Amino acid sequence: MSTPPKVCVLRAPGTNCDIETAHAFDLCGAESTRIHLLKLLENPSQLNDYQILCLPGGFSYGDDVGAGVIFASHLQGQLADVIGNFLAADKLVLGICNGFQVLLKAGILPGGAAGWPLKSDQSRDATLTWNTNGKYTSLWVNLGAMAPQNVFLKGIDQIELPIAHAEGRIAVSDPAIVQGWKDNQQIAMCYRAAGDAETTLQEEILPYPVNPNGSACNIAALSDPAGRVLGLMPHPERFLFATQHPQWTRLGLTGEGAGIQLFRNAVNYFE
C-alpha cells in the first residue's frame, strides 16, 4: 500500500470550513493537518512535507479589505519562496470559496507555477468581486466541468454543489482574458441550468439563480495550465454524504455525495 499523501489545510483568522475540508481528505485516505497561517509563517519550510495544499472557505481576516486580500498578501510575502517551490513540484493546490479568492488575488491562479510570483508592477487581469445582487448568497447550483486535464475533476462531467458567498463574481479586464483561459483549458467549471445536455462557454450571463453571482461567462472555477491547481467558488466539502443534499429523501439519494470525488481524485493522484 502506498504512503497516504499529506494535506496541509491552511487556515487563517476567519476561516470556518477547515475541519470539514480536512475530514473530506481523510475520508479518501489522506493524512490532513490543519495549520494556522501564523504557524506556517514561523516556519515556512514545513510546507515542503506536504503533497497537497488546500485553502478552505470562510472569511479570512473578516474580508475587511476585500475577500482573501490579507491572506493573499502573506502568501506573496514571507511565503513566496516556499509557495513557488510547492507549485513547481508535482504537487496539488485546492482553493475553495475564500480559498479561491486567495489563490486568484495572490496570483497563484490563473498561471500556477508559470505565473508565480507576480511582479510588483504587474496588474491582475481578473478578480473575484461582489455578486451582482450585492449580497451574500447561499443555494445549490448545477455545474459542468470543462477542464478534463485538471486532477481534481477527473471523471466529473457535471455536478451539483452548494455555494455560499458574497464575492464570487469573476470579473475580467478584457474579454480576451477569457478566450486565453479557454484556449489553455483553464475554465474548470461553469454554472449551467439543470437538465442541460452539455456545458458550453457562452458570453451571455445566465440568469439568477442558475448563475448566482453574475460571473463572467458563467465561470465558477479556474485551473492552472498544468491542471494541478483548482480554485472554485462552490463547496464540495459540504456534499460528502447524500444526506447533505436538501432533497435527498425526495430524490432517493444514498451513500456518498458528489463532492467527495474532487478529494478522492486528489488523493488517488499520488497512488
SS3 of residue 142 by DSSP: strand
Q: Which of the four pLDDT bands, split at 50, 70 and 90, describes residue 241? A: very high
163 lies in a domain?
A: yes
Kindly report the CATH number assigned to the domain that includes residue 225: 3.40.50.880
Residue 82 and residue 45 in contact, taking contact as beta carbons nearer than 8 Å: yes
Answer whether residue 121 shows pLDDT above 80.
Answer: no
Q: Percent of the chain beyond pLDDT 70?
A: 98
Name every residue whose Cβ is closer than 8 Å to that of residue 249 and which is 6 or more positions away in sequence: none
79 lies in a domain?
A: yes
| Catalytic residue list | 97, 235, 237
Q: Which of the four pLDDT bands, split at 50, 70 and 90, describes residue 140? A: very high
56 lies in a domain?
A: yes
SS3 of residue 268 by DSSP: helix
Residue 74 and residue 41 in contact, taking contact as beta carbons nearer than 8 Å: yes
Number of compact structural domains in the chain: 1
Per residue in 150-172, pLDDT (tens digit) is 999 999 999 999 999 999 999 99
Domain containing 20: what range? 6-269
162 lies in a domain?
A: yes
1 lies in a domain?
A: no
Provide mean pLDDT across the span 56-68. Answer: 90
231 lies in a domain?
A: yes
